[in-house]
Structure 1
Amino acid sequence: MSTTERPRILVVGGGYVGLYAARRILKKMRYGEATVTVVDPRSYMTYQPFLPEAAAGSISPRHVVVPLRRVLPKAEVLTGRVTTINQDRKVATIAPLVGEAYELPFDYLVIAMGAVSRTFPIPGLAENGIGMKGVEEAIGLRNHVLEQLDKADSTTDEDVRRKALTFVFVGGGFAGAETIGEVEDMARDAAKYYNNVKREDMRFLLVDVADKILPEVGPKLGAYGKEHLEGRGVEVYLKTGMDSCVDGHVVLNNGLEVDSNTIVWTAGVKPNPALSRFGLPLGPRGHVDTGTTLQVQGTDYIWAAGDNAQVPDLVGRKNGNENAWCPPNAQHALRQAKILGDNVVSGMRGFPQKEYSHANKGAVAGLGLHKGVAMIVMGKMKIKLKGRLAWYMHRAYHGMAMPTFNRKIRVFADWTLAMFLKREVVSLGAMENPREEFYEAAKPAPAPAAPAGAGDKPKAKAS
């Protein structure tokens, strides 16, 4: 970490907003005008809309992440967490991955910590649930599902087999519907290579407390998505929650009970709980309260955007909705990051701030290979697409939104190769514990058992 007399712009979080805001600031800044420091527990940014495809093996996991140090060569990148912020002293406490915590002074602050999975105190969820917020979880889910097929193909115990081939997904938004669509596709393909496992032996359940899935694309396309998944054998339970999943025994509040080794939790997100320790004004759901310029309310040196911010939706408010807020999606995050970067540079130079305003352009969702839904907004007209054409729109939009030219090329290369080569169905489950085999080989051999009576003292010879 360098020391400098220049003003420091501290970016807390290296996700979509943090990465793009830092790039924008560095691009707009004059040489030597300030130091940009980015702090994140990971040394890379994850493009989360591609996690379902990474879980299904359609995209290499390495291609859905962007290394921060490579993309931000002129910035300081610190791998660690910001644990506290003292606004009076303008000092942040950094907890690195190793070593003791230390204080880092700053002059301008960007809050871009994103969101975490929204969970509830459901018995067994912490021990058995699998999230879908990071690339590690996507890789883990893929390996886990293929391992279940391996188990089912190799066992003669019908209860073990049934539990291995039952897959429960909780949450019917983008993450849940896209993930179950992609994973079902992968499992259907993989079953062709097993002698004792067929698609008919598997059971996929999608559970949501709402009365519809994919609310982001509207009720008609959401209904189509539900019918499409059900046509592929997925059981969709709406207005239904999960009461418990202790030891993989899933109990739904509609009376249904199943045993499953695979419980995927995608039931929404919430702002990073660490925000509550920063002394910032928060909204009712824990988001940082910002104005239309993305400045945190009551400050002139702190900005926030993305999933951890409560940003007024000016377009919605002009249309009569006084309580409109920008939804947490990549469409807004990308555009907010650019305005935020411009406003930080303007604030540093004493220039006026720009307001953030963006009209919704629609939404796209992939439900597996060649399957999807899309709603494209063009002025007052909404174009609704489904099937293969919607899937092309999904890939085109997210392929272009993927940060950096390097990663765009790699993603499109993965898709192109998949047109000619069959899907990989190899489980690398040993990645979860890569040292286990070496440990078994290297651990000390147990001492040989002493023969019976070896510990007794010799008896005196009779005279």
Structure 2
Amino acid sequence: MRYGEATVTVVDPRSYMTYQPFLPEAAAGSISPRHVVVPLRRVLPKAEVLTGRVTTIDQDRKVATIAPLVGEAYELPFDYLVIAMGAVSRTFPIPGLAEQGIGMKGIEEAIGLRNHVLEQLDKADSTTDEEVRRKALTFVFVGGGFAGAETIGEVEDMARDAAKYYKSVKREDMRFLLVDVADKILPEVGPKLGAYGKEHLEGRGVEVYLKTGMDSCVDGHVVLNNGLEVDSNTIVWTAGVKPNPALARFGLPLGPRGHVDTQTTLQVQGTDYIWAAGDNAQVPDVVGRKAGNENAWCPPNAQHALRQAKVLGDNVISGMRGFPQKEYSHANKGAVAGLGLHKGVAMIVMGKMKIKLKGRLAWYMHRAYHGMAMPTFNRKIRVFADWTLGMFLKREVVSLGAMETPREEFYEAAKPAPKPAAAKAEPAAAPVEEKAKAS
């Protein structure tokens, strides 16, 4: 845009963007958590960044209501609107899930999972209660897509390394379960590589249960619908995503699963001043439809979101200046997944040819692709530096669980001491003469 032509305002409840494909590695300690996030104000110096939430959108008046972190809500007028709220974890009304489950959609959850798993090893190494120990060393992961398979692969790798430093905890004492209602894992890389991924995880001692769901997990007692029951302190939920439910309040046309319904130009259906992209948008897949699939939609992944963003930006400028809109069209380039250190699967699409890789080479492809896709040169350097140091230094296995309640110890030290209870009045001592008579 020309200088002074417009003001770009970004509203987000967090002041940073998270590169979600790196969350499993952050949970395993392969990448510093700070290097997985990008501060918005640093990378968008010419934009106005507001930390808060959009609660309502009045399309007639072209006004959005902003609820900041503190203070009263206020209205913000706009001429053009971009909806890019992403997705949230897709959950079901399973008893105990809200209280016991751990998601993997944000960096806070990745850090929490890492601290939690290492804390379970501490508990198991410090107790003589066999039931407490068994519950601490049982780890249940629900969901066998990219997020679930990568997370269990990375966490199992970390736990295996950490066990070397515990005298009474060995890898054989731990139990890892991967549960999915589908009949395969890693569907994004195809059936053959998905089968390899399953065999690989099982070879590392992971129990994989397909066509299986979780009925309940109250107080950590996990009940699967195949009849298996286990007790676990760690229940990780990675069973897919859904569009941000806040979209339902904005009066936008939504698809059957809650996505914003867009044209191939990323413009929201029925409007000429609203665009949507990424995980919260239902974008027609032009390439798939040309191939004969009339119901092809772009999948919610980083490969499409990054490319949609560039087309969307150009289309917003075209809309401002009255130029025609450009269609978003992208052919799938494949998929890569890491299953722990030096382990992975990859499917590279080159025209009509599909190259399938597994093992260490696929793991290199995974790191190379996501390392280059990581936003900003600053973060790229830091991520590659973390990987380089990891080649020469041992993995850190320190649990910082106290980060979740950092003020607890200080509060215990600083809180006022309880007032002493009033001393009860003792009966007066008997005179010496009466004591003598009593004797």
Where on the TM-score scale, by shorter chain, does this alignment land: which range? over 0.9
Hey, what's the Cα distance between the residues in 1 that align with 2:388 and 2:370?
Answer: 15
Q: Deviations over 1:393-441 (max 9, x none)?
A: 0000000000000000000000000000000000000001000100110
How many Å apart are 1:453 and its aligned residue?
A: 13
In the superposition, relative to structure 1, how do residues 121 and 454 fare at CA in structure 2: closer, same or farther (>3 Å)?
farther
Q: Secondary structure at the match of 1:303?
A: strand
- Measured in 2, the distance between the counterparts of 1:59 and 1:456 equals 81
Q: Secondary structure at the match of 1:451?
A: coil
Q: CA 1:447–1:342 in structure 2 vs 1: closer, same or farther (change >3 Å)?
A: same
- Residues 63-87 of structure 1: CA distance to partner in whole angstroms, max 9, x if unpaired? 0000000000110000000000000
- Deviation of 1:349 (Å): 0.7
Aligned-pair CA distance for 1:459: 18
Q: Report SS of the residue matched to 2:108.
A: helix
**TM-score, length-scaled by structure 1:** 0.91
Q: 1:450 aligns with which of 420, 426, 437?
A: 426
What is the distance in 2 between the residues matched to 1:455 and 1:163? 66
Distance 1:413 1:299, change over 3 A: same
The yes-or-no answer on 1:84 pairing with 2:56 is yes
Compared CA separation, residues 308 and 458, structure 1 to 2 (3 A): farther
Distance 1:216 1:98 in 2: 42
| Cα distance change, pair 462–192 in 1 and its aligned pair in 2 (3 A) | closer
Q: Give the 3 Å change call, closer, same or farther, for CA 352–435 of structure 1 in structure 2.
A: same
- Within 1, Cα distance between the matches of 2:388 and 2:255? 44
Give the deviation of 1:214 after TM superposition.
0.2
Indicate the residue corresponding to 1:279 in structure 2: 251
The equivalent position to 1:439 in structure 2, one of 407, 411, 418, is 411
Q: Which residue of 1 aligns with 2:205?
A: 233
CA distance in 1, matches of 2:233, 2:222: 10
Tell me the distance in 1 between the aligned counterparts of 2:209 and 2:101: 18
Indicate the SS of the match to 2:8. Answer: strand
Cα separation, 2, equivalents of 1:447 and 1:109 = 59
What secondary structure does 1:205 align onto?
Answer: strand
Residues 20-76 of structure 1, C-alpha deviations (whole Å, 9 max, x = no match) = xxxxxxxxx110000000000000000000000000000000000000000001100
Question: SS at the partner of 1:458?
Answer: helix
Q: CA deviation at 1:446?
A: 1.4
**CA offsets per residue over residues 309-340 of structure 1, 9 Å max, x none?**
00000000010100000000000000000000
State how far apart, in whole Å, the 2-side matches of 1:163 and 1:154 are: 13
Q: Deviations over 1:143-183 (max 9, x none)?
A: 00000000000000000000000000000000000000000
- 1:379-458 residue pairs with structure 2 within 5 A? 379-448=351-420
Cα distance change of structure 1 residues 443 and 301 upon mapping to structure 2, 3 Å threshold:
same
What is the DSSP-based 3-state SS (H/G/I as helix, E as strand, rest coil) of the residue aligned with 1:100?
coil
CA distance in 2, matches of 1:454, 1:180: 77
Q: State how many pairs are aligned.
A: 435
RMSD: 3.2
Would the alpha carbon gap of residues 141 and 458 (structure 1) be closer, same or farther in structure 2, given more than 3 Å must change?
A: farther
Aligned residue among 303, 310, 313 for 2:282: 310
SS of the residue corresponding to residue 56 of structure 2 reads strand
Q: Does 1:368 align with 2:369?
A: no
Superposition deviation, residue 112 in structure 1: 0.1
Shift of 1:451: 12
Deviations, residues 99-120 of structure 1 (Å, cap 9, x unaligned): 1100000000000000000000
1:305 and 1:131 map into 2 onto residues whose CA distance is 23
Residues 307, 462 of structure 1: CA spacing in aligned structure 2 closer, same or farther, 3 A cutoff? Answer: same
Q: For 2:101 and 2:431, locate their aligned partners in 1 and report how far apart those are by CA, in whole Å.
A: 52
Instruction: Give the Cα separation in 1 of the matches to 2:60 and 2:161.
Output: 58
Structure 1, residues 213-263: CA drift from partner, whole Å, max 9, x if none? Answer: 000000000000000000000000000000000000000000000000000
CA distance in 1, matches of 2:241, 2:365: 25
Q: For the structure 1 residues 35 and 445, does the alpha-carbon distance in structure 2 shift closer, same or farther, using more than 3 Å as the test?
A: same
Q: For residues 455 and 183 of structure 1, do their structure 2 counterparts lie closer, same or farther at Cα, with a shift above 3 Å needed? A: farther
- Give the secondary structure class of the aligned counterpart of 1:293: coil
Unaligned runs of 5+ in 1: 1-28
Q: Tell me: CA distance 1:335–1:450, structure 2 relative to 1, closer, same or farther (3 Å).
A: farther
CA distance in 2, matches of 1:421, 1:325: 44
Cα pair distance change 1:156/1:331, threshold 3 Å: same
Which TM-score applies when normalising by structure 2?
Answer: 0.96
Q: Percent identity?
A: 95
Q: Distance in 1 between matches of 2:329 and 2:430?
A: 86
> Kindly tell me: are residues 458 and 430 of structure 1, through their superposed partners in 2, closer, same or farther at Cα, counting changes over 3 Å?
farther
The structure-2 alpha-carbon separation of the partners of 1:359 and 1:159, relative to structure 1 and needing over 3 Å to count, comes to same
**For the structure 1 residues 245 and 349, does the alpha-carbon distance in structure 2 shift closer, same or farther, using more than 3 Å as the test?**
same
Q: What is the aligned counterpart of 2:116 among 138, 141, 144?
A: 144
State the distance in 1 between where 2:219 and 2:336 align: 36
Q: Secondary structure at the match of 1:35?
A: coil
Residues 158-307 of structure 1 aligned to structure 2 (within 5 Å): 158-307=130-279
- TM-aligned CA deviation for residue 457 of structure 1: 24
Q: In the TM superposition, what is the alpha-carbon distance from 1:445 to its structure 2 partner?
A: 1.1
> Aligned-pair distance for 1:450?
11
CA change 1:387–1:444 in 2 (3 A) is same
Q: Distance in 1 between matches of 2:433 and 2:255?
A: 79
Q: 1:462, CA displacement in angstroms?
A: 18
Say if 1:90 and 1:162 are closer, same or farther in 2 by CA, change over 3 A: same
Q: In 2 relative to 1, CA 357–196 (structure 1 residues): closer, same or farther, beyond 3 Å?
A: same
- Tell me the secondary structure at the aligned position of residue 435 of structure 2: coil
Query: What displacement does 1:447 show?
Result: 1.8
| CA apart distance, 1:452 | 13
Q: Which residue of 1 aligns with 2:65?
A: 93
Structure 2, unaligned runs of 5 or more: none
User: Structure 1 residues 367 and 455, CA, compared in 2 at 3 Å: closer, same or farther?
Assistant: farther
